[in-house]
Amino acid sequence: MPYFAEHFGNPSSLHHVGDVATEALEKSREEIARFINADPDEIVFTSGATESNSMALIGYALRNKRKGKHIIISEIEHISIHNLAKWLVANGFEVTKVPVDQYGRVRLHKIERRIREDTILISVGYANNEIGTIQEVRRIGELAAERGIAFHTDAVAAEGLVDIDVRRDGINLMSLSSNDIYGPRGLGVLYIQKRYRVNPIIIGGGQERGLRSGSENIPAIVGMATAASIMRKEMDKEVQRFRGYRDRLISEVLNSVEDSYLNGHPTERLPSNAHFRFDGVEGEAILLSFKDKGIAVSTGSACTSKTLEPSHTLIATGLIHEEAHGSLQLTVGRFTSDQDIDQVLDVLPGIIARLRDMSPLYKKKR
């Protein structure tokens, strides 16, 4: 809070007010680096994960196009990655999408078969933001290193929930978001390993070592660093609590609601994520029914919820459109209580039963 008004300096300024901001900026950079086991000078602050993804894919592709113009992503990447892939293709690059198995896992041999001599970058998310499946990040990093290919991961869904170590996992570029660890909105991070180079995509005064111009958002940066510090200290305890909530949701929903199924990997999934599908009902109707009860749930990614198209992630796992449309995403977090779980489990069976009674599709099935 003090950096909104009391310490209002610009770190690019040379006077003492600017010095205070510079000190806060660099201390925050050090804290973010500790969060992922990186060096402080490998941390670049951005306006959010979308910009970080853009700098990683576009910036790396443009900087390294003489080495090759082929990039590999998975079929279940965040929508921002898919849209960046479209931009790259429109600008002379080739993008290959790797299919996933029924649980949303990218298999290493499928990546390996798609590597070419001109492949310069592999981008696979650390964990899927919808169905919660965690990828074999370390093995992908090892494969990329063996082939001399840069490895980028969008780690937004996993940060604060999984122990992320960029050294151990062989990650060369990684996107993070402030608000996904309860920090301020409007701030992200791109980790860039020292020997890797990207072109800036925002040109201006040369801040952030010339990689991201524009005056740094010091209040948000301090806020994200503080959030990262809290998450680093409390993650083990919190993750254990989340996992208990998740497992209870999965067990009781599947046992109490007929024709219900779990989406995503049964064990290798985020501790906060329970993702279901229900025959004969639509996710939007479930969401609105929960909304009437004062409970916030989702049918998929918040970044794609304004479209009526089924989730590209669920379709990629082999579901047909009708199955994908009947999905419900439940996520628990820092402020979730036992009473919240009780309430969800109390109202969910009745919601599904009521919607099925109105569904001609389900009646025909029965």
Active-site residue numbers? 303
* Strand bridging mode 173-177 / 188-192: antiparallel
The first and second tokens of residue 332, run together, are: 């628990």
Phi/psi for 58 (5° steps) reads -70, -45
DSSP 179-195: GGGT--SS-EEEEE-TT
DSSP 303: T
> Using CB atoms within 10 A of its CB, is residue 35 exposed (0-12), middle (13-18) or buried (19+)?
buried
Residue 44 CB partners (closer than 8 Å, separation 6+): 55, 189, 190, 191, 192, 208, 209, 211, 212
Q: How far apart are CA 69 and CA 64, in angstroms?
A: 8
Q: Are 219 and 4 in contact (CB under 8 A)?
A: yes
Distance CA 189, CA 225 (A): 11
Distance CA 32, CA 43 (A): 8
In this structure, which amino acid lies at residue 154? Answer: D
Edge-to-edge strand list for the sheet holding 260-262: 260-262, 273-278, 327-331
